[in-house]
Structure 1
Amino acid sequence: MPTPPDALRRGPLREGTFSSTLHGPRTAVVLGRWLGAALLTCFLTGLLSHLVQESPSWLPSRPANGYRLTQGLHVISGIAAIPLLAAKLWTVYPKLFEWPPARSVLHALERLGIAVLVASMVLELFTGLFNTLQWYPWPFPFRQTHFWLGWLATGGLLLHIAAKAPQIAEHWRRVRPGLPERRAFLTAVTAAVGVVTLTTAGQSVPWLRALDLFAPRRPDLGSQGLPVNRTAAQAGTTTVPADWRLTVDGPHPLRLSLADLARLPQYEAELPIACVEGWSAGARWAGVRVRDLLDLAGAPADARLRVTSLEADGPYRVMDMPAQYVRDPLTLLALRVNGEVLNADHGYPARIIAPNRPGVLQTKWVARMEVL
């Protein structure tokens, strides 16, 4: 009669259950290289995105398309990592049925670390995917949670690489046994990653726009040629007061009507709206340079700016802008876009547009500018 431990070894716990070479270490190492590259790219660009939203004083305002490039790459690499993670987990899942489950305290700790790594990766990628859809079916704040999950997943990944370094080194180079089966599997994974990437990257890569079949946004569709994340109806700004005035608080306070703003020197700038969800779209903006308004208000050259929107509520109703953005000649209080007066959804009567900034910081329905 079998002893109790042997009696437990049924189904996938039976010795020799997983005989395919696709579950071998060579396949895991190859997929791990691809997945590691995607995750590290996603982490570094996501870290930059988080910093940009915090508006540190040392972050440069150029290149003008910087945030568009880095956030687009962040979302592209994150989406590409999803099929790679699925393939990697399928390759190594027999390890879940190792016997005995824990051979020592160190082995138990290693398996616990892998469980934390896998859980954090899955949560990180899928919360990020839901963010591209602007769907938040959870009670916790997305941005902060996504940020710390990124650190947890990346730290766990680096520890995992360190723990498995000898095995990774052993299987890093090409080996011949089982090559046709492995090659077919890796080709299928490569094709899946390629299809997912090509059919979603068009929301941020203009020359792939024709293939943008599954991305949540088409950047060339929307009122005045631009998509809208937060509409005037959602913000409660469909009706602007008839006596609207832009208030500029500084040493010499200003109150300017639209007619007053129109009489000031007008400038144009070709700048993108680039959003954290990964989509971006370029547009031609026209209006008054922010630095000219602050000069009229007597602001010092190193002044920061606080901008307040007409919307009554919202996490980005108030926005702070460091001096390097305030003084950049491309930073405008925009009154028009693509040759038309701003409509309500794009921020009428006036909005901020600045280089190298996420869309959430390009404040719409501007009511007040305060020199800090």
Structure 2
Amino acid sequence: MDVMRSRFFPPVFKGRLHDARTATSIGRWLGLAFAVCFVTGLVSHYTQHPPEWAANGLPSRPVWGYRFTQGLHVASGIAAVPLLLAKLWTVYPRLFEWPPVRSVLHGLERLSVALLVAASVFEVATGLLNTAQWYPWLFSFVPVHHAVAWLLAGSLMLHLAVKAPRIRDHWSRRSPGTLALPAEDGPDRRSLLTAVAAAVGAVTVTTVGQSFTPLKDLTLLAPRHPDHGPQGLPVNRTAAAAGVGAIHDGRYRLTVSGPRPCTLTLDELRALPQHEVELPIACVEGWSKSAHWTGVRVADLLDRAGAPAHARVRVVSLQTRGGYRVSEMGHEHARDPLTLLALRLNGEELTPDHGYPVRLIAPNRPGVLQTKWVGRLEALS
């Protein structure tokens, strides 16, 4: 019997930093990263998939709005990687608590922690793989990532409520609960926290340049460099991947529907008043870069077709496969003078991978909705 008991006796951890004070210190940073990531993630999700009641009222300004929020979303998500690893390191001995369940309340608490850990690891891991556009799973990333984000937020709030007394006791150096901790742990704890802060700084500085272009030369760990791509701009989806073959100038037609529908050839589009704007392409994977675009204002084309001022617009691509073949704009984007059907990028005719002959470019809009190879504009009621 004694032999059997010794075999199943839980291990004893003697590490001095697996304590509540260290866990609380790292948890503050991790909680902040998760909060920023969650809020900016909601902005991204509802900008791409707005509810019906909000679809016609999304703002087109500031022009850099989506670039900022999505860059911050990815940066905070990447910063959460070393923070989550450090947090799990401080608390993992509690996985071996014995007995594993002491009461119904304790069992529910452990279940909530398991849910929190699973959701945290899932969100960080899948989000990181999304920045590299690698999807080794069978589910659709966007809806699942969004749903688990709400699950993570709920489990985190529950965890904070359950652990509030202990968090309060170890929140600061002056908290009464910290007096019971050995004084000799102080230097080691400071060294650990310094190392974690250095890791967060390192992964941030070496990745954030894909969106914050002043640091673009330091993008050692970023999956994208903002300057690498045709015409000095990255491409997520090539013409070949979208099933777009060679488009001959003489055969291209743009159809604009409305009370007075019209069809324009490429030469007729080129003959219309051309406008130049500087707008960023900001993609959900976290990279972004500003560029100079030249083309025809969407508002001018809508006026030509007699579209109502508050009409939404559906933009239809010539691509034959893949998501986001069709996108919609509210009237604020459609009527914004910066919103163009662009024919030129940085002074040159668009390349096929950038949407030749015509692509949409609009302010404060996700890159996946900046439709390429545009063949039709439809004014909606």
1:196 paired to 2:203: yes
Letter in 2 for 1:262: R
1:350 paired to 2:358: yes
Describe the superposition over 1:307-365 as per-residue Cα deviations: whole angstroms up to 9, x where unpaired. 11111112111111111100111100000010001110000010000000011000000
Q: How does 1:17-56 map to 2 (within 5 A)?
A: 17-55=12-50, 56=55
Match of 2:88 in 1: 89
Q: Tell me the TM-score normalised to structure 1 length.
A: 0.96
Query: SS in structure 1 opposite 2:240?
Result: helix
1:278 paired to 2:273: no
Moved more, 207-216 or 64-73: 207-216
Match of 2:322 in 1: 314
1:340 counterpart (340, 345, 348): 348
Matches of 2:190 and 2:163, distance apart in 1? 23
Describe the superposition over 1:205-255 as per-residue Cα deviations: whole angstroms up to 9, x where unpaired. 111111111100000111111000000111121311441110001111111
Match of 2:158 in 1: 159
Matches of 1:268 and 1:349, distance apart in 2? 16
Query: SS in structure 1 opposite 2:360?
Result: strand
Matches of 2:336 and 2:352, distance apart in 1? 26
Structure 1 residue 4: Cα displacement: 5.4
Unmatched segments (≥5 aa) in structure 2: none
Match of 2:62 in 1: 63
Match of 1:184 in 2: 191
Number of paired residues? 367
Letter in 2 for 1:229: N
Structure 1 residue 265: Cα displacement: 1.1
1:224 paired to 2:231: yes
- CA separation of 1:231/1:7 partners in 2, compared to 1, >3 Å: closer, same or farther? closer
Structure 1 residue 6: Cα displacement: 5.5
Q: Give yes or no for contact 2:56–2:312 (8 Å, CA) kept in 1.
A: no
Letter in 2 for 1:73: L
Query: SS in structure 1 opposite 2:17?
Result: helix
Segments ≥4 residues shifted beyond 4 Å: 3-7
1:291 paired to 2:299: yes
Query: SS in structure 2 opposite 1:168?
Result: helix
Moved more, 327-336 or 170-179: 170-179
Matches of 2:238 and 2:7, distance apart in 1? 62
Matches of 1:370 and 1:349, distance apart in 2? 18
Matches of 1:172 and 1:5, distance apart in 2? 38
RMSD: 1.2
Matches of 2:121 and 2:321, distance apart in 1? 32
Match of 1:122 in 2: 121
Matches of 2:139 and 2:151, distance apart in 1? 17
Structure 1 residue 295: Cα displacement: 0.2
Matches of 2:379 and 2:261, distance apart in 1? 10
Query: SS in structure 1 opposite 2:191?
Result: helix
Q: Percent identity?
A: 62
Query: SS in structure 1 opposite 2:109?
Result: helix
